[in-house]
């Protein structure tokens, strides 16, 4: 009888020992190779990005990006011939202190004047990713943002996720409207922008890669964020916004802070002065320009 015999147990012990050696070895070799491969890809991409001065974006690692850039494959690439931005090389931060980029999305609104007044009083430059406002009294705010030295970035005209992310064509049509409007009102052609919901979100999962490629091809640089003020949700107070932003900025050398400038976000405007007070000694505030290396989401970020 083999089962239960001494020979059976001998074989069982030998097999177990063999498995204990083989399985970890195979795993180690596999992950070693994976690690090596991803390091190699990262190196290759780094080299490519520095040569071509393209944004370094992890999710494009290993993709022959030059193909996407130069070959006119899609009809929309010939649309909107004025909707281009001149790209600049990214310049390393030259600050002794950690840098904070305050960014305000969804304006102009009834809160924008107060936000601008606070920034002016503190001599701080920030970044506004604007949408369309139909309210007559808001029209001069686009120009005021520019005149006071802030960066005017774009955030789409309608901000309607279901429309703008239906296709690349829909996004471009919408973006062109705000691009044109801002140019007419301010004389400035924005070079930086932020995707509503961030660059990779549940609404654009089918088109994000193509869409990002097209916007980069046109020379625009987009910025996600690495500090969220938390003011997008429903329950927050100015004290909570203050705490979240300060905590986030304290742990980073470079913070791109997501805040909102829509008409319901008065708590954000309320928090602004105390945020500035808490960080002004230890940090430096700067506006985003297209020479600031962007913080961008990866596909993995979106899956968490």
Closer residue to Zn ion (CB): 196 or 294: 196
Residue whose CB is less far from Zn ion, 106 or 231: 106
Q: Can 105 be counted among the known catalytic residues?
A: yes
**End-to-end Cα, the chain, rounded Å:** 53
Active-site residue identified among 224, 260, 261, 283:
260
Q: Which of 105, 106, 170, 174 is catalytic?
A: 105
Based on CB atoms, which residue is closest to Zn ion, 105 or 214?
105
Per-residue three-class SS string for the chain: CCCCCHHHHHHHHHHHHHHHHHHHHHHHHHHHHHHHHHHHHHHHHHHHHHHHCCCCCHHHCCCCHHHHHHCCCCHHHHCCCCCCCCCCCCCCCCCCCCEEEEEEECCCCCCHHHHHHHHHHCCCCCEEEECCCCCHHHHHHHHHHHHCCCEEEECCCCCCHHHHCCCHHHHHHHHHHHHHHHHHHHCCCCCEECCCCCCCCCCCCCCHHHHHHHHHHCCCEECCCCEECCCCCCCCCHHHHHHHHHHHHHCCCEEEEEEECCCCCHHHHHHHHHHHHHHCCCCEECCCCCCCCCCCCCHHHHHC
Residue 153 or 248: which CB sits closer to Zn ion? Answer: 153
Shortest Cβ 143–Zn ion spacing (Å) = 21
Q: Considering the complex, what minimum distance in angstroms separates the CB of residue 36 from Zn ion?
A: 40
11 assigned to active site? no
Minimum distance of Zn ion from residue 262's CB (angstroms): 8
Cβ-based nearer residue to Zn ion, 55 or 107: 107
- Closer residue to Zn ion in complex, CB, 105/231: 105
CA atoms within 13 A on the CB side of 19: 6
Min dist. Cβ of residue 129 to Zn ion (A): 7
Supply the minimum distance, in Å, between the C-beta of residue 238 and Zn ion: 20
Residue nearest to Zn ion (CB): 105
Q: What are phi and psi of 129, to 5 degrees?
A: -100, 100
Residues in touch with Zn ion (CB under 5 A): 105-106, 196
Minimum distance between the CB of residue 159 and Zn ion, rounded to whole angstroms? 6
Show which residues are catalytic.
105, 260
């Amino acid at each position: 009888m083999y089962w239960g015999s001494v020979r059976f147990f001998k074989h069982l012990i030998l097999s177990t020992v063999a498995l204990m050696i083989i399985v970890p070895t195979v795993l180690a070799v596999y992950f070693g190779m994976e690690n090596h491969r991803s390091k190699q890809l990262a190196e290759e991409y780094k080299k490519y990005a520095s040569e071509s001065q393209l944004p370094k974006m992890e999710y494009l690692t290993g993709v022959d990006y030059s193909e996407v850039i130069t070959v006119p494959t899609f009809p929309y690439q010939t649309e909107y011939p004025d909707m281009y931005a001149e790209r600049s090389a990214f310049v390393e931060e030259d600050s002794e202190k950690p840098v904070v980029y305050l960014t305000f999305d969804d304006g102009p609104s009834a809160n924008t004047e107060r936000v601008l007044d606070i920034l002016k009083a503190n001599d701080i430059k920030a970044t506004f990713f604007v949408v369309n406002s139909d309210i007559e009294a808001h029209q001069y705010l686009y120009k005021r943002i520019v005149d006071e030295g802030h960066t005017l970035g774009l955030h789409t005209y309608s901000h309607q996720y279901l429309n703008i992310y239906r296709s690349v064509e829909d996004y471009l049509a919408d973006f062109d409207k705000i691009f044109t409007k801002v140019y007419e009102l301010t004389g400035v052609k924005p070079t930086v922008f932020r995707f509503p919901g961030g660059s990779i979100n549940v609404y654009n999962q089918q088109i994000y890669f193509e869409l990002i490629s097209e916007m980069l091809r046109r020379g625009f640089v987009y910025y996600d964020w690495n500090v969220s003020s938390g003011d997008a949700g429903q329950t927050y107070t100015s004290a909570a916004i203050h705490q979240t932003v300060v905590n986030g900025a304290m742990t980073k050398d470079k913070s791109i802070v997501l805040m909102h400038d829509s008409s319901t976000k008065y708590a954000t405007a309320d928090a602004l002065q105390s945020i500035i007070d808490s960080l002004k000694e230890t940090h430096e505030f700067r506006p985003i320009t297209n020479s600031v290396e962007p913080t961008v989401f990866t596909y993995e970020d979106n899956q968490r």
